[in-house]
């Protein structure tokens, strides 16, 4: 179909407006386009922009494009002193390019995801917005991009509001200021892309025109299955290399070891009582915790009756007992003795245990309550070797540049593969040719054994 009356595309607050066109033209035949009765216009979520343009080109439908707010080659765009990429980096870039310049690259922490992104940016040569989960990462990206391209780099978030052809932002700011940038970037890069499927954060991907998209992560899998939304938001997984495929050459050799500890008779008794109380409530209410929304149902029921409140308290109590079993402390002491002089990171699920360990063994601790300055200082001292042991809960799982350690001790944690892979990643930075080791300390005869099984369902732990 060829026509002299082109359809008109424009960007409007996270959507593409489609107007004009030949008489009787069916706008809803365009990908993603719906009639909006509030404004009597036709529009699509901005993410459909690429499909709409491709459809128009394929069907030879004339169109004018006032939506796209970027030029192809921003001035001064030159990669400075490019170094040779590793084979896995070159492959990742090539595959992403061949898959239509859309998709997610999965690489373990410390194997150069940022450089993959830099190479993709250079190849695509479009204004790019880089989205990160934390201000810390935003600053790291800012430094790398500035050095890589030698251009002014914009920052959005953390007190900055400066758009440039290359801009780094946070998921929060990307969402809040979407209307201001949604039509201005041809390439979107999502660092730690497993955050993107959150309902609010996803808006950044939905409301942007960017035809080219790159997601980066070490573990796309989410506990809620949200990774299923990633193909729509950024594209499919186009390249994936696992820890086991890169250990030895690019990552440290490692082994993982599960250590069981017994509860004391008193702990066992208290654990059994608490667990029985909570399980009884679940059984009486006919709640199937493994079923869909099982946990939500438990929470819902538990908040309505005194019985339920007690059951929830009992649930938390049995959790607390398994997490802080006294045997874990003796095991920790032994492990630290066995690895005296080595750099060790201790992980827990809760802050109370972190502080307990810090008090007992006079070990520096980091939680979300640790002030930024102090946190930085502790990490620097850990890096310089002044501190050889560091205890933390969940803060260091992701998004912080943590100096390499060769020993990891997981005293407690969630059942998610993501957390376990992230923690393993903390000891895999090449650090001499020492073999790294990740210990997982599990309270025997408790539900922790199942949590442990669950988080080890990743071949890196087989």
Partner DNA sequence: TTGACTCAACATCCTTTGCTACAA
Partner DNA sequence: TTGTAGGTTTCCATGTTGAGTCA
> Which of 176, 206, 229, 259 is in the footprint of DNA by CB under 7 A?
176
Using CB under 7 A as the binding rule, whether residue 303 contacts DNA is answered as yes
CB atoms within 10 A of CB 221: 16
Hey, what long-range contacts does 281-284 have (CB within 8 A, 24 or more apart)? 281/307, 281/308, 281/310, 281/311, 281/314, 282/311
Site string for DNA, 129-168 (x = CB under 7 A): ----xxxxxx------------------xxx---------
Bridging pattern class, strands 389-392 and 187-190: unpaired
| 367 part of the interface to DNA, by CB under 7 A | yes
Distance CA 168, CA 131 (A): 6
422 binds DNA (CB under 7 A): no
Sole binder of DNA in the list 23, 24, 265, 290 (CB under 7 A): 290
Helix, strand, coil percent values for the chain (each to nearest 5):
40, 20, 40
Answer for which of 418, 423, 426, 429 binds DNA (CB under 7 A) is 418
* Residue 207 within binding range of DNA, rule CB under 7 A: no
Establish if 458 lies at the interface with DNA (CB under 7 A). Answer: no
The residue within the footprint of DNA, chosen from 73, 300, 334, 376 (CB under 7 A), is 300
Residue 235 gets the label, from left (phi > 0), alpha (psi -120 to 50) or beta, of: left
Q: Binding of DNA at residue 90 (CB under 7 A)?
A: no
Name the nearest CA neighbour of 366 among 342, 343, 397, 336: 397
Q: Does 217 bind DNA (CB under 7 A)?
A: no
Sign (positive or negative) of CA dihedral 287, 288, 293, 299? positive
Residue 306 found at the interface with DNA (CB under 7 A) = no
Least Cβ distance, residue 391 to DNA (angstroms): 11
CB of 352 to DNA, least distance (A): 5
Task: Please pick, from the candidates 261, 451, 452, 460, the single residue that binds DNA as defined by CB under 7 A.
Answer: 451
Residue from 24, 37, 199, 265 touching DNA (CB under 7 A): that is: 199
Residues 6+ apart with CB under 8 A from 249: none
The answer to whether residues 433 and 397 touch, using CB atoms and an 8 Å cutoff, is: no
Neighbouring CB atoms inside 10 A of 445's CB total 14
Closer to DNA by Cβ: residue 51 or 206: 206
Determine if 368 is a binding residue for DNA (CB under 7 A): yes
């Amino acid at each position: 179909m060829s026509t002299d009356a082109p359809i008109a595309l424009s960007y409007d607050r996270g959507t593409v407006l489609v107007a004009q066109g030949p008489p009787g033209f069916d706008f809803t035949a365009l990908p993603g386009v719906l009639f909006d009765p509030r404004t009597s216009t036709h529009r699509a979520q901005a993410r459909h922009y690429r499909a709409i343009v491709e459809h128009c080109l394929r069907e030879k439908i004339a169109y004018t494009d006032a939506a796209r707010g970027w030029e192809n080659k921003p001035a001064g765009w030159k990669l400075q002193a490019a170094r040779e990429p590793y084979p896995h980096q070159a492959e990742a870039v090539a595959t992403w390019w061949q898959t239509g310049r859309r998709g997610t690259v999965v690489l373990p922490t410390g194997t150069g995801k940022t450089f993959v992104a830099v190479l993709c940016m250079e190849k695509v040569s479009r204004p790019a917005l880089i989205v990160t989960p934390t201000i810390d990462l935003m600053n790291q990206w800012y430094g790398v991009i500035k050095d890589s391209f030698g251009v002014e780099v914009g920052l959005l978030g953390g007190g900055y509001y400066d758009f440039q052809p290359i801009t780094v932002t946070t998921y929060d700011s990307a969402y809040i200021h979407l209307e201001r940038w949604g039509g201005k970037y041809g390439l979107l890069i999502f660092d730690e892309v497993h955050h993107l499927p959150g309902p609010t954060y996803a808006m950044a991907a939905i409301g942007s025109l960017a035809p080219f998209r790159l997601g980066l992560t070490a573990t796309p899998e989410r506990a809620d299955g949200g990774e299923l939304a990633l193909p729509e938001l950024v594209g499919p997984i186009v390249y994936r290399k696992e820890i086991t495929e890169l250990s030895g050459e690019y990552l440290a050799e490692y082994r993982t070891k599960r250590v069981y500890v017994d509860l004391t008779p008193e702990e066992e008794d208290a654990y059994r009582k608490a667990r029985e109380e909570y399980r009884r409530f679940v059984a009486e209410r006919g709640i199937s915790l493994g079923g869909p929304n099982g946990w939500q149902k438990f929470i819902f029921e538990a908040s309505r009756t005194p019985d339920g409140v007690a059951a929830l308290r009992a649930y938390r109590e049995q959790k607390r007992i398994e997490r802080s079993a006294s045997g874990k402390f003796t095991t920790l002491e032994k492990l630290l003795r066995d690895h005296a002089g080595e750099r060790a990171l201790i992980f827990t699920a809760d802050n109370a245990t972190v502080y307990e360990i810090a008090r007992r063994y006079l070990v520096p601790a980091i939680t979300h309550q640790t002030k930024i300055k102090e946190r930085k200082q502790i990490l620097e001292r850990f890096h310089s070797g002044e501190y050889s042991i560091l205890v933390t809960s969940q803060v260091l799982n992701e998004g912080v540049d943590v100096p390499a350690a060769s020993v990891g001790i997981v005293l407690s944690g969630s059942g998610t593969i993501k957390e376990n892979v992230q923690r393993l990643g903390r000891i895999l930075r090449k650090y001499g040719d020492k073999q790294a080791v990740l210990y997982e300390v599990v309270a025997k005869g408790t539900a922790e054994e199942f949590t442990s099984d669950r988080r080890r369902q990743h071949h890196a732990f087989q």
